[in-house]
Amino acid sequence: MPGVDGFMYPNEIELQWSVLIVLYPFITGLVAGAFILASLERVFNVQAVKPTYRLALLTALAFLLVAPLPLQLHLGHPERSFEMMLTPHTTSAMAMFGFVYLWYLMVVLLVEIWLEYRRELVLACRRSTGLTRVGYRILTLGSDNISPASLRIDDRVGRVVTIIGIPSAFLLHGYVGFIFGSIKANPWWSSPMMPIVFLFSAIVSGIALVLLLYVVTAWMRRVAVDMLCVDTVARYLFYAFLVDFALEMIDLIHRIYEADESFRALDFMVKTRLFTSQIVLQIIVGTLVPLTLLAATQLVRLSERTRVRLYMTAGALTLVGIFAMRWNVVIGGQLFSKSFLGYTTYKMGFATREGLLPAILLMLLPFGILAALVKLLPPWTSPEAPS
């Protein structure tokens, strides 16, 4: 059989979950990570990162809106996908995830953004006319009250929402990890560490994304980058990455040490079919290099310019590495046979329903949405805008 080495059960030869299913945990990971960064300021009062607060929220929203799209493209019957909401099977992590997603979108993210921006929305409503005014009226739910008392209440409620939001964000991406980690049939996936590894890699990717977006948008707006802010964000990125790296190392060492029945087959797969994506992209380029660069900024005195450049490089490489991690989990988990006697190949189409082209478009879409959101709800009009 072309592309098959050794023996695979006949039904295993063609991969079931494509690059779109790789995209999905990547996107929800960015959401969870961006939100955790935002919550650093709100709940833990890390004032230094306040310039990224609104941007992080909008980033989370832009990506969360796109998150269901790769899934819909993948489903055999997307027109029936609402069944997951109507008759969710409570033993299925995938079903329960639909509600976690909805909860997070509606009750956490949208409410928090609404409370944060309500004052600006009401002001915009007051000074606009015609259809735009109608639009803003809808967004403000028809309320015109921005008295100091109401804004104080907003702030307190917002704080509560964020506090609820942190475990919700953990759930959002931990669940995705559980979707894979709970499958006993697949030894590459089955692990109690899966939700935790997914979560921490999500936090890393989200922080890296917001860091990159903040610097890029500052450059685009020709304003100075708030160094205290980026230094702090980068430091949190470094810490989170250290934890993530440690967790992945624990998983790896555990596998190598226990060497159960699946080990040799998986080891062979990593060294051959997954060599580029796992060893090169995920581990070296995507983890060790950014960690080294970030460590350098923490240990050595460097100029602002150099630090920003290192942060940007580390951030970009981090995103590559975390994407590679998702790829290795999803695709890697389907490249080997459950008989442990063979391997297959992933044939990714280009302009097909689950091909590379829709994947690229889906990755670009959130940036388009973010651009629209930034126009509608500017993150830079908060009092602490960088000078």
Partner 1 sequence: MDTTRRDFLMVGTKLLVMTAATASALEHVMAGTPDAVTTYSTAEHWWAMLIDVEKCIGGGQCVRACKIENDVVDEPMYFRTWVERYHVNMSDPDHPVVDSPDGGIDGFTEKYADGDGKTFFVPKMCNHCADSPCTQVCPVGATFCTNDGVVLVDKDYCVGCRYCVQACPYGCRYLDPRTHTADKCTLCYHRLTRGMIPACCEVCPTGARQIADLKNPTDPIHEYLRTHKIQVLKPQMATGAKVYYNGLDGAVR
Partner 2 sequence: MKRPFKDVEHLIRLAALFAAGLLVFAVARAELVPEDFGKYGHYRAGAIDDAAAWPRSYAGRARCTECHDDVVTAAAPAKHKVIGCETCHGALLKHADNPEVAVAKADGPVLCLRCHAANTGKPAHQPTVVAKDHSDEDTCVSCHKAHDPRTDQE
Residues that bind partner 2 (CB under 8 A): 82, 85-87, 89-90, 106-107, 111, 114, 118, 140-143, 145, 147, 149-150, 153, 157
Helix (H) or strand (E) holding 343: strand 342-343
Establish if 223 lies at the interface with partner 1 (CB under 8 A): no
Angle at 90 (CA atoms; ends 89, 95), nearest 5 degrees: 60
Q: Residue 12 touches which of partner 2, partner 1, none (CB < 5 to 8 A by kind)? A: partner 1
d(CA 372, CA 361): 17
Q: Under the criterion CB under 8 A, does residue 142 sit at the interface with partner 1?
A: no
Question: Secondary structure of 16-52 in the HEC alphabet?
Answer: CCCHHHHHHHHHHHHHHHHHHHHHHHHCCCCHHHHHH
Q: Is residue 259 near partner 1 by the rule CB under 8 A?
A: no
- Decide whether 237 or 330 has the Cβ nearer to partner 1: 330
Output 111 or 359, the one with its CB closest to partner 1.
359
Give 155 or 304: the residue with its C-beta nearer to partner 2. Answer: 155
CB-wise, 11 or 90, nearer to partner 2?
90
Among 95, 164, 288, 316, indicate the residue that binds partner 1 (CB under 8 A): 95
Tokens of 210: 């917001």
What distances in angstroms separate CA 77 from CA 14, 83, 162, 318, one per listed residue?
A: 19, 11, 35, 35
If we measure between CA atoms, which residue out of 54, 380, 377, 47 comes closest to residue 222? 380
Nearer to partner 1, 95 or 279 (CB): 95
**Which segments of 43-106 does DSSP mark as H helices, in order?**
53-66, 68-74, 83-86, 93-103
Residue placing its CB nearer to partner 1 in the complex, 246 or 341: 341
Look-up: residue for tokens 């580029």? 276
Least distance CB 105 / partner 2 (angstroms): 12
Residue 76 found at the interface with partner 1 (CB under 8 A): yes
378 binds partner 1 (CB under 8 A): no
Q: From the list partner 1, partner 2, none, pick the one residue 74 interacts with, judged by a Cβ distance below 5 to 8 Å according to partner type.
A: partner 1
DSSP 287-335: IIHHHHHHHHHHHS---HHHHHHHHHHHHHHHHHHHHHHHHHHHTHHHH
Contacts of 198 (CB under 8 A, 6+ apart): 25, 29, 173, 174, 176, 177, 180
Q: Which of 183, 247, 348, 365 touches partner 1 by CB under 8 A?
A: 183
| Nearest distance from C-beta of residue 153 to partner 2, angstroms | 6
Binding site for partner 1 (CB under 8 A): 7-14, 16-17, 71, 74-78, 80-81, 83-84, 87-89, 91-95, 98, 179, 182-186, 333-334, 337-341
